[in-house]
Structure 1
Amino acid sequence: MDFLYNYIIEQALIVVPVLLVIGQILKSTPKMSDWVIPYILLALGVLLTIALMGFNANAIIQGVLVAGAAVFANQLYKQYVQKDGDSK
């Protein structure tokens, strides 16, 4: 996990689990298309990191990185749970 500290600052790491929870809530919403969820998480990630760090380029970059980490973590979880090509 040390490799994350090379790209995402420690202050912004708290946003990753927040985005994971929000993503699961959006996924359970019946009228929410799956392809929209990463875009919503991207916007929320940028807004949350701007709220944490102030409005600057680094905050926007950190928002993109934490959103990517949240989507990546979700995909890793899905691949782990859905072994052998089973779709759930």
Structure 2
Amino acid sequence: MDILNFIMEDALILVPVLMILGKIIKTAKLFPSRYIPLSLLLMSMVLTSIVLGVTFDAFIQSILVAGAAVFGHQLFKQMRSVDV
């Protein structure tokens, strides 16, 4: 089961956008790293409502998009530091 099957095509562009915003927040040290996923979720809700409108589907899409961005970042980070 692939999470990207559940994300609408219109909202898919927000995954890399959120990843970039997360990197900017982390680099700028605006607040502790533990709050970055929560801030990305809030930004995802705003951006998804702009792209898809304010609907229940947009709310669900914002959660999926934020989840995909955070999961993608963590997967890359963990796979890069694997000890063989």
CA drift of 1:12 comes to 0.3
Structure 1 gaps of 5+ residues are none
1:83 corresponds to which residue? 82
In structure 1, the residue matched to 2:65 is 66
- The 3 A distance-change label for structure 1 pair 5 and 69 is closer
State the superposition RMSD in angstroms. Answer: 1.8
Q: TM-score, normalised by structure 2?
A: 0.90
Letter in 2 for 1:21: I
TM-score normalised to structure 1 length: 0.87
Q: How many residues align?
A: 84
Secondary structure of the structure 1 residue equivalent to 2:38: helix
1:31 and 1:5 map into 2 onto residues whose CA distance is 30
Separation in 2, partners of 1:31, 1:18: 18
